[in-house]
Each structure stands twice: as structure tokens, then as C-alpha cells.
Amino acid sequence: MTLKLPKFEMYEVGSQIRRSSKSVKNNIVEGFGRRRYKQEFIRFLIYSLASCDETTDHLVTLFETKSLNDKDKYGYFCEEYDHLGRMINNFIKSVESKHKT
């Protein structure tokens, strides 16, 4: 989707969306690698949630500025990132309450 944005957005916001969306997964993986230390694990899960929110914010900006004008595609991505954010939030709560230190 980001490679089909107008040229002036493709390299700025498009690149940032690609980075923030990859960061969601990367932070979960890095946190899992530190799972022995509960607070480190939670910190990286929070970073992941923040990257998810950042990606959503970039999508909203693109839609509001009409750089992304496909309403169905916008709705799909916003819904998916909202769902992902809720799953990460539930995962954080689970780690906080159940994870052994």
C-alpha cells in the first residue's frame, strides 16, 4: 500500500509506516528474548503497542490529507491495527499478572 502513495508521501510517511509496522513485531521478539526479566519484557511490549499506535496515526494522517483515498483499504488497515493493539494490550496485562519473575 505504501508504495502506491503519491510520490511526495511515499518516501516520508510511507517509509515511516513501513518502519513502525515492522517495529511492532521486532519489539515483541526482542521483549520475548528478555522474558526472564519481567519488567524488560513488559517494556518492549509497551514499545510494540506504541509502534502499533504510531502506524495507525500515520494512516489517519494519510487519509485526512487524501494521500490515501481508498476508504475500504483505510478502514481495513485501521481495523486490523486496532485489533492488533487490543491483542498486545491483553498480552501486556497477561504478562503483568501471570508472568513468573
CATH topology of domain 7-98: de novo design (two linked rop proteins) (1.20.1440)
Q: Return all residues near 5 (Cβ < 8 A) that are at least 6 apart.
A: 13, 14, 62, 67, 68
Position 5 scores a pLDDT of: 73
- On the CB side of 87, CA atoms within 13 Å amount to 10
Are the CB atoms for 41 and 35 separated by under 8 Å? yes
Are the CB atoms for 45 and 91 separated by under 8 Å? yes
Query: What are the residue boundaries of the structural domains of the chain, listed by start?
Result: 7-98
The pTM for the full model equals 0.88
For the stretch 68-100, pLDDT in tens is 889 999 999 999 999 999 999 999 999 999 866
DSSP state of 69: -
For the stretch 1-39, pLDDT in tens is 776 777 777 778 888 999 999 999 999 999 999 999 999
Distance (Å, whole) CA 61 – CA 66: 8
